[in-house]
Structure 1
């Protein structure tokens, strides 16, 4: 059926240009209206070829994607930050002139849909003063305009052809420290934004190809490590310059109207594929609920988050009714809520048109309530958004989308029961082994399980499905660069949620300071007190946790040539930290973080007993869990585990009978 292309270059170039209500944007969060209001002095390139031949289309589609990937490689290679070259905590994006996402890279997914808001805000509020010109680059990290949290910094560059704005190239990179009350710029103890890094609305930091040194110096002045952030700054400028040059080369070769025609066709194709999937889903309301633990350091409260998806025809409407009010440091803005949606829909529903968020976004409406923790109002804290609040919304969306897909026999196979249930991030700072100041994120946080599906088990320590190219660093690299010594990394038994298909297992990573007197650790997470991904069937995965043994006997054990593989083996003062915590680690203090597991799918007593035995051999399921949850009885002979068939059949019958006895039928027990 024909599809209305809602996002085409719709503009208002009336002489009564007013831009958006800036102060309303800064309080409520920027929500662009359609069409957006652009100053008449800015001309957009709107002509495009409507019938590009199929061969040229495929050549240019892949070329644009490759340009975006080269943009990402430039960020990785120019930056000296471990956030860039280990975790690839960035994403490059190509946008149309009016901000639709044509291509995003295979890196951190929630960086690209949110870039659309940044570009639209610049068009509305900067096209008149100071203007948008060839060679310009804008910088922004304002969460109320469009960022997940202040450390995620956007560089946006317009691409011009013959005096008209043709498209945008954008990159986002998590920068280690840009100010705030804690080293690393996560501020889990913040009560409001004034205790966090300063939000910077879009400003022109490169003008006509020349870096504005006054603004660059002002920006770096906020950081505890300006040299490292300066390298990131240079890498981001280099990235947009490379992408801009490659796009201009492509236009020189094929013509502006042909390239623009391909961009439109890429978007239309993604839109049509999305709508065809929506046609297979019954109209209705699908819901998700999860609980955030701790509004700030020292708080042990639990805060409810809810999401509703109203599917009607070719439109999904997302709301957040019954969500707790915004509070302290647990919040994300409207922009964070919006971009979390595409972080789920892309891998779940757009595997045949990945990295093209602009098409599906034409059929998504968002009606959130300002003043809630998933649509925060100024001046709520948002500096933990990228590691706590936005992943929290991803869990909510994941839970609701699973229910929606389960209503379609054809789409049920696309279900992923969840992402890892907790673990969050740790920012570290202190004096390194060479006597110099250091700061970093321990990027082991990018591990954790990936959820099960109806047709397969989850992926053990598979990472985040919304960050497909984000690896965890080699331990040796971290030990070389920073004053830490690992004791172990290990997959944790029984953290993968039980089910006919088992969820992916989580991971513990354990370290101590090495050749330093102290390390400041700042922890920011959710899913520590309560699992976030409950799944749609089967059991939830294991939670995350932060543990530390102060004044341990680890050095004495080293002297005896013993390296512990379990924190509980150590003597000392054990402490379990909350999900928002600050801890100073001394030489004999040993810390461990658990990145949680993910839910299973289906009834555990329907799992093939031989697969349970294999899980036991691999150390992913304990014999106790096999007996109690899976109903599988085994015997062990050394490292080999064998299923006792008759005992297993009897045990599973016992579990079924107990369930029937405990069930409530017709209101009676």
Structure 2
């Protein structure tokens, strides 16, 4: 019997295969999630670079593919159904076969595509060799769970492998801030969430289309899980066709320049970016800059949450040390994952410090990150993070202040020193029944009008762009009114003394006043900090922006007033609250 029970003769590889095949649950892989750097060159990439290494030709190939990516971004904006798609809270991108972000669209949200590297690497590691899944030409994968690689669960990404002669040579990706995701509150960013199970859809990376066709059984499941089934289906189709357009442009580049040139261009774009960032960092003086700032609540109660940063530059590397920041909130949704902090800081360098650097993840390769674990910026696995913006935006601002101090100290600059950009999404989540009888839940596009910090020789901008996106828009109110049962009676009006003290502005430049109409059930929820403590500081001390209290007028039919006594209405929050003109 002893011989029958003996497994000592089994090879170690057989045991490893058995354990691999019997995994109970493929959770996010720490080996993938902790690595924000570049994957090692593959043997095939080495072969391609050996055959195609003329830098001028590779630059032409890169620009050719980037033109296709930008074309796909315009498709995403023009065809998308979600407010985030229509007004620029989206992005499209190309990744290497290994999953590294190589080319992001010139417009859009860099953090989105920077995070998609993680689900692609998960797919490569776990699904490529799985007989029940696999990766074939025409397959499309989807993800929205932040723990596998998204900013928060309201964002949805679709990824498609690009094949040539049976080999994956690249990945195409498209991401949209979709909004509604079936969470405990409409709109996808529930302040009420006290556990991860309150945050709505939790899609780990899985195959949702085969042979370029969405699987209707899976689509129906996803539609059945959210409040806006039409939105879910429409934007899945849009993202898939955006990926197909990128695939087409890559195939055209291969036909014209050869597959070796395309693979080499995607890889060298990353390595060239890494090398250039290291060269520029080496020009900065060695040392440490420090900054601490606070956010003033959890969206449910007032509390001072500390974000602490020591930024150290040594040689050609930067270290972001966020130790000393507040502990995690185990039952509040304003925690941020560390990958989200990293992705936001990529946006900082690619937009506000070195906007001439190609938009890819190579910019972060020379950088290291240190967090307390767990903390509000690196919470435990089961901690909700649906409102991660409430802490990650403050972490971004601390990074901007520290980095700008280094930039100020360097005689050679590639852009000008910039005062802190306004960092908060002062707008509303909404949800309920529309005038068309459809259930909706989403966010207003006013988040994209953040005020811009001043330069040494120029005032700041009242309303310019969000810290997380380029070439985005605040939305056309007339279009919004066609779909939603509310009107912005005061829409994007500049507010006196709202930008900070002195000539150099630093806050939220405009105000808005809205009211619901033509719906039996519709509501709003504020999603912003900064009513008790300013969102941003000055650069070298001094004043930051003012605070922004939420104001509300109840028990008044404003539309009746506009018909019967239009002269009594006041078109600013200051006048409405101070004069109280309605009887």
Q: Secondary structure at the match of 2:62?
A: helix
The answer to whether structure 1 residue 175 and structure 2 residue 178 are counterparts is yes
The residue number in structure 1 matching 2:124 is 123
Q: Is the 8 A contact 1:148 1:390 kept in 2?
A: no
Distance 1:396 1:280, change over 3 A: same
The residue number in structure 2 matching 1:347 is 351
Distance 1:230 1:319, change over 3 A: same
* 1:251-650 correspondence to structure 2 within 5 Å: 251-297=254-300, 299-327=301-329, 328-355=332-359, 357-385=360-388, 387-411=389-413, 414-489=416-491, 490-499=493-502, 501-503=504-506, 506-537=509-540, 538-552=542-556, 554=558, 555-556=560-561, 558-562=563-567, 563-570=569-576
Q: Is the 8 A contact 1:461 1:506 kept in 2?
A: yes
How far residue 414 of structure 1 moved from its aligned partner, in angstroms, is: 2.9
Counterparts of 1:475 and 1:188 in 2: how far apart (Å)?
26
Q: Is the 8 A contact 1:30 1:334 kept in 2?
A: no
Aligned length: 556
How far residue 440 of structure 1 moved from its aligned partner, in angstroms, is: 3.5
Counterparts of 1:286 and 1:460 in 2: how far apart (Å)?
28
Q: Is the 8 A contact 1:286 1:404 kept in 2?
A: yes
User: Deviations for 1:139-161, whole angstroms, at most 9, x for unmatched residues?
Assistant: 11111121100011111111122
Counterparts of 2:538 and 2:577 in 1: how far apart (Å)?
37
Q: Is the 8 A contact 2:423 2:536 kept in 1?
A: yes
Using structure 2 for the length normalisation, give the TM-score.
Answer: 0.88
The residue number in structure 1 matching 2:3 is none
How far residue 59 of structure 1 moved from its aligned partner, in angstroms, is: 2.5
* Deviates most, 109-118 or 544-553: 544-553
Q: Secondary structure at the match of 2:283?
A: coil
Distance 1:531 1:474, change over 3 A: same
Counterparts of 1:342 and 1:37 in 2: how far apart (Å)?
20
The answer to whether structure 1 residue 63 and structure 2 residue 64 are counterparts is yes
The residue number in structure 2 matching 1:141 is 144
User: Deviations for 1:393-415, whole angstroms, at most 9, x for unmatched residues?
Assistant: 32222122122222213239532
How far residue 62 of structure 1 moved from its aligned partner, in angstroms, is: 1.4
Counterparts of 1:419 and 1:34 in 2: how far apart (Å)?
27
Q: Secondary structure at the match of 1:375?
A: coil
The residue number in structure 1 matching 2:94 is 94
User: Deviations for 1:148-188, whole angstroms, at most 9, x for unmatched residues?
Assistant: 00011111111122222211111111112111111111110
User: Deviations for 1:107-126, whole angstroms, at most 9, x for unmatched residues?
Assistant: 11211211222222222222
Q: Is the 8 A contact 1:422 1:528 kept in 2?
A: no
Counterparts of 2:527 and 2:460 in 1: how far apart (Å)?
25
The answer to whether structure 1 residue 187 and structure 2 residue 190 are counterparts is yes
Distance 1:67 1:438, change over 3 A: same
User: Deviations for 1:211-235, whole angstroms, at most 9, x for unmatched residues?
Assistant: 2222222222211010111101111
Distance 1:153 1:553, change over 3 A: closer
User: Deviations for 1:268-296, whole angstroms, at most 9, x for unmatched residues?
Assistant: 33223212220221112222322122224
* Deviates most, 137-146 or 360-369: 360-369
Unaligned runs of 5+ residues in structure 2 are 1-12
How far residue 27 of structure 1 moved from its aligned partner, in angstroms, is: 8.8
Using structure 1 for the length normalisation, give the TM-score.
Answer: 0.77
